A and B are shown apart, each in its own frame.
Chain A
Protein backbone atom coordinates (compact mmCIF):
# COMPACT_ATOMS: atom_id res chain seq x y z
CA UNK A 1 0.00 0.00 0.00
CA UNK A 2 1.18 3.50 -0.84
CA UNK A 3 2.37 6.06 1.63
CA UNK A 4 5.15 8.08 3.14
CA UNK A 5 7.57 6.64 5.65
CA UNK A 6 9.94 8.48 7.92
CA UNK A 7 12.68 7.02 10.01
CA UNK A 8 13.67 6.89 12.72
CA UNK A 9 10.68 7.76 14.89
CA UNK A 10 12.97 9.25 17.55
CA UNK A 11 16.47 10.57 17.00
CA UNK A 12 19.00 11.87 19.47
CA UNK A 13 21.70 14.31 18.48
CA UNK A 14 24.81 15.25 20.37
CA UNK A 15 26.13 18.79 20.32
CA UNK A 16 28.03 19.52 17.11
CA UNK A 17 26.78 16.41 15.36
CA UNK A 18 25.07 16.19 11.98
CA UNK A 19 22.10 13.85 11.77
CA UNK A 20 20.05 12.73 8.77
CA UNK A 21 16.31 12.10 8.76
CA UNK A 22 14.94 9.73 6.17
CA UNK A 23 11.80 10.26 4.09
CA UNK A 24 10.57 7.82 1.45
CA UNK A 25 7.36 7.83 -0.58
CA UNK A 26 5.91 5.32 -3.02
CA UNK A 27 3.05 7.50 -4.19
CA UNK A 28 4.87 8.49 -7.38
CA UNK A 29 4.65 12.12 -6.30
CA UNK A 30 6.97 14.65 -7.89
CA UNK A 31 7.01 17.12 -5.00
CA UNK A 32 8.34 16.54 -1.51
CA UNK A 33 8.58 18.83 1.50
CA UNK A 34 10.14 19.07 4.94
CA UNK A 35 8.40 20.89 7.78
CA UNK A 36 9.30 21.54 11.36
CA UNK A 37 6.72 21.69 14.12
CA UNK A 38 7.36 23.38 17.46
CA UNK A 39 4.88 23.56 20.35
CA UNK A 40 2.31 26.29 19.85
CA UNK A 41 3.39 26.93 16.28
CA UNK A 42 2.17 25.81 12.92
CA UNK A 43 4.26 23.74 10.59
CA UNK A 44 7.08 25.77 9.07
CA UNK A 45 8.59 24.90 5.71
CA UNK A 46 12.30 24.01 5.72
CA UNK A 47 12.95 22.82 2.16
CA UNK A 48 10.92 21.57 -0.76
CA UNK A 49 11.62 19.82 -4.03
CA UNK A 50 9.44 19.70 -7.12
CA UNK A 51 11.68 17.48 -9.21
CA UNK A 52 14.66 15.17 -8.88
CA UNK A 53 18.01 16.94 -8.41
CA UNK A 54 16.32 20.24 -7.65
CA UNK A 55 15.18 21.79 -4.37
CA UNK A 56 14.43 25.20 -2.91
CA UNK A 57 14.78 26.75 0.52
CA UNK A 58 11.67 27.26 2.57
CA UNK A 59 11.14 29.78 5.33
CA UNK A 60 13.62 28.32 7.86
CA UNK A 61 16.33 26.58 5.80
CA UNK A 62 19.33 27.79 7.82
CA UNK A 63 21.16 24.92 9.49
CA UNK A 64 19.56 22.28 7.27
CA UNK A 65 20.48 20.59 4.01
CA UNK A 66 18.64 18.21 1.67
CA UNK A 67 19.22 16.12 -1.41
CA UNK A 68 16.86 14.70 -4.02
CA UNK A 69 18.77 12.05 -5.96
CA UNK A 70 15.74 9.82 -6.39
CA UNK A 71 12.07 10.65 -6.85
CA UNK A 72 11.12 8.47 -3.89
CA UNK A 73 13.59 9.87 -1.38
CA UNK A 74 14.14 13.29 0.20
CA UNK A 75 16.51 13.04 3.20
CA UNK A 76 16.99 15.99 5.52
CA UNK A 77 20.29 16.64 7.32
CA UNK A 78 20.21 18.70 10.47
CA UNK A 79 23.67 20.20 10.68
CA UNK A 80 25.62 21.44 13.67
CA UNK A 81 24.80 24.97 12.47
CA UNK A 82 21.18 24.47 13.53
CA UNK A 83 21.29 25.84 17.06
CA UNK A 84 17.81 24.79 18.13
CA UNK A 85 17.14 21.45 16.43
CA UNK A 86 14.78 19.94 19.00
CA UNK A 87 11.44 19.63 17.20
CA UNK A 88 9.04 17.31 15.43
CA UNK A 89 10.01 16.97 11.76
CA UNK A 90 7.40 16.13 9.15
CA UNK A 91 7.95 15.08 5.57
CA UNK A 92 5.18 15.49 3.00
CA UNK A 93 4.62 14.89 -0.68
CA UNK A 94 2.18 16.06 -3.33
CA UNK A 95 1.47 15.12 -6.91
CA UNK A 96 3.32 17.90 -8.70
CA UNK A 97 3.86 20.82 -6.31
CA UNK A 98 2.53 23.17 -8.95
CA UNK A 99 -1.22 22.86 -8.80
CA UNK A 100 -3.20 25.26 -6.70
CA UNK A 101 -5.10 23.40 -4.06
CA UNK A 102 -2.88 20.38 -4.27
CA UNK A 103 -3.19 18.27 -1.17
CA UNK A 104 -0.02 17.33 0.66
CA UNK A 105 0.26 13.94 2.30
CA UNK A 106 2.34 13.64 5.43
CA UNK A 107 4.57 11.00 6.93
CA UNK A 108 4.37 9.99 10.61
CA UNK A 109 7.16 12.35 11.65
CA UNK A 110 10.51 12.13 13.44
CA UNK A 111 11.09 13.65 16.85
CA UNK A 112 14.62 14.99 17.20
CA UNK A 113 16.06 15.54 20.65
CA UNK A 114 19.39 17.06 21.58
CA UNK A 115 21.46 15.35 24.26
Chain B
Protein backbone atom coordinates (compact mmCIF):
# COMPACT_ATOMS: atom_id res chain seq x y z
CA UNK B 1 0.00 0.00 0.00
CA UNK B 2 1.80 3.07 -1.29
CA UNK B 3 1.03 5.92 1.09
CA UNK B 4 3.09 8.44 -0.84
CA UNK B 5 2.69 8.33 -4.60
CA UNK B 6 4.55 9.97 -7.40
CA UNK B 7 2.53 8.90 -10.39
CA UNK B 8 4.86 10.28 -13.05
CA UNK B 9 7.99 8.12 -13.32
CA UNK B 10 9.67 10.67 -15.57
CA UNK B 11 9.45 14.26 -16.76
CA UNK B 12 11.31 16.06 -19.54
CA UNK B 13 11.55 19.85 -19.62
CA UNK B 14 13.39 22.40 -21.72
CA UNK B 15 16.07 24.48 -20.01
CA UNK B 16 14.66 27.75 -18.70
CA UNK B 17 11.10 26.47 -18.45
CA UNK B 18 9.23 25.42 -15.32
CA UNK B 19 9.44 21.88 -13.96
CA UNK B 20 6.48 20.69 -11.89
CA UNK B 21 6.81 17.46 -9.94
CA UNK B 22 3.71 16.09 -8.25
CA UNK B 23 3.14 13.96 -5.18
CA UNK B 24 -0.03 12.56 -3.61
CA UNK B 25 -0.47 11.03 -0.19
CA UNK B 26 -3.19 9.05 1.50
CA UNK B 27 -2.44 9.25 5.23
CA UNK B 28 -3.95 12.26 7.00
CA UNK B 29 -1.43 11.76 9.84
CA UNK B 30 1.36 13.07 7.64
CA UNK B 31 2.20 16.55 8.85
CA UNK B 32 5.57 17.35 7.35
CA UNK B 33 6.74 16.89 3.78
CA UNK B 34 10.17 16.92 2.19
CA UNK B 35 11.66 16.73 -1.26
CA UNK B 36 14.95 14.98 -1.86
CA UNK B 37 17.08 15.06 -5.00
CA UNK B 38 19.18 12.08 -6.03
CA UNK B 39 21.88 11.75 -8.65
CA UNK B 40 22.81 8.28 -9.99
CA UNK B 41 24.94 6.20 -7.62
CA UNK B 42 24.67 8.84 -4.89
CA UNK B 43 22.54 9.18 -1.79
CA UNK B 44 19.54 11.56 -1.78
CA UNK B 45 20.14 15.13 -0.64
CA UNK B 46 17.57 17.23 1.11
CA UNK B 47 16.09 19.95 -1.11
CA UNK B 48 13.13 21.67 0.53
CA UNK B 49 10.40 20.95 3.05
CA UNK B 50 7.00 22.20 4.15
CA UNK B 51 4.97 21.87 7.30
CA UNK B 52 1.28 21.03 7.10
CA UNK B 53 0.42 24.40 8.65
CA UNK B 54 1.70 26.13 5.52
CA UNK B 55 0.63 25.95 1.91
CA UNK B 56 3.80 27.28 0.30
CA UNK B 57 7.52 27.36 0.95
CA UNK B 58 10.04 28.97 -1.35
CA UNK B 59 13.82 28.64 -1.54
CA UNK B 60 15.46 30.25 -4.53
CA UNK B 61 14.36 28.48 -7.69
CA UNK B 62 12.47 25.84 -5.72
CA UNK B 63 8.93 26.21 -4.39
CA UNK B 64 6.83 23.56 -2.74
CA UNK B 65 3.04 23.88 -2.64
CA UNK B 66 0.82 21.90 -0.31
CA UNK B 67 -2.92 21.32 -0.79
CA UNK B 68 -4.04 19.52 2.35
CA UNK B 69 -7.64 19.06 1.29
CA UNK B 70 -6.51 17.30 -1.87
CA UNK B 71 -3.61 15.54 -0.10
CA UNK B 72 -1.37 16.78 -2.84
CA UNK B 73 1.94 18.58 -2.99
CA UNK B 74 4.07 19.77 -5.83
CA UNK B 75 7.61 20.99 -6.37
CA UNK B 76 8.16 23.80 -8.85
CA UNK B 77 11.59 24.53 -10.27
CA UNK B 78 11.89 27.84 -12.11
CA UNK B 79 13.88 28.26 -14.26
CA UNK B 80 14.95 24.67 -14.83
CA UNK B 81 18.64 24.02 -15.45
CA UNK B 82 20.41 20.96 -16.92
CA UNK B 83 22.05 20.39 -13.52
CA UNK B 84 18.59 19.82 -12.08
CA UNK B 85 18.39 16.53 -13.99
CA UNK B 86 18.04 13.90 -11.26
CA UNK B 87 15.53 11.70 -9.47
CA UNK B 88 13.27 13.63 -7.12
CA UNK B 89 11.72 11.86 -4.15
CA UNK B 90 8.77 13.18 -2.24
CA UNK B 91 8.68 12.11 1.41
CA UNK B 92 6.22 12.52 4.26
CA UNK B 93 6.58 12.24 8.02
CA UNK B 94 3.89 10.55 10.06
CA UNK B 95 3.17 12.86 12.98
CA UNK B 96 2.37 9.89 15.23
CA UNK B 97 5.28 7.59 14.50
CA UNK B 98 7.89 10.06 13.19
CA UNK B 99 8.58 7.68 10.30
CA UNK B 100 9.67 9.05 6.96
CA UNK B 101 7.78 7.50 4.01
CA UNK B 102 9.11 7.96 0.49
CA UNK B 103 7.38 8.08 -2.87
CA UNK B 104 8.68 6.10 -5.83
CA UNK B 105 10.58 9.01 -7.31
CA UNK B 106 10.30 11.01 -10.54
CA UNK B 107 13.22 11.26 -12.95
CA UNK B 108 13.56 14.81 -14.25
CA UNK B 109 15.51 15.50 -17.41
CA UNK B 110 16.22 19.11 -18.29
CA UNK B 111 17.28 19.48 -21.90
CA UNK B 112 19.66 22.28 -22.94
Binding site for B on A (CB under 8 A): 4, 6, 9, 35, 40-45, 58, 90-92, 97-98, 100-109, 111
Contacts and interface: CB of A to CB of B under 8 A. Distances in A.
Contact of A108 (B34, B43, B93): B43
B34 A103 contact: yes
B93 A100 contact: yes
Given A101-B49, A101-B93, 10 more contacts: A35-B102, A40-B9, A42-B2, A42-B104, A43-B44, A100-B31, A100-B95, A103-B49, A108-B41, A109-B41
Contacts of B9: 40
A66 B46 CA distance: 25
A40 B5 CA distance: 11
A111 B99 CA distance: 24
B28 to A, nearest CB: 15
A108 B38 CA distance: 10
A92 B93 contact: no
A42 B103 contact: yes
Contacts of A4: 43
Interface in B97-111: 98-105
B98 A42 contact: no
B67 interface: no
B100 A97 contact: no
Contacts of B91: 42
B59 interface: no
Nearest to A97: B98
Contact of B32 (A9, A40, A100): A100
A40 B44 CA distance: 15
A106 B44 contact: yes
Interface string B80-99: 00000000010101010011
B102 A111 contact: no
A42 B41 contact: no
A106 B100 CA distance: 13
A101 B32 contact: yes
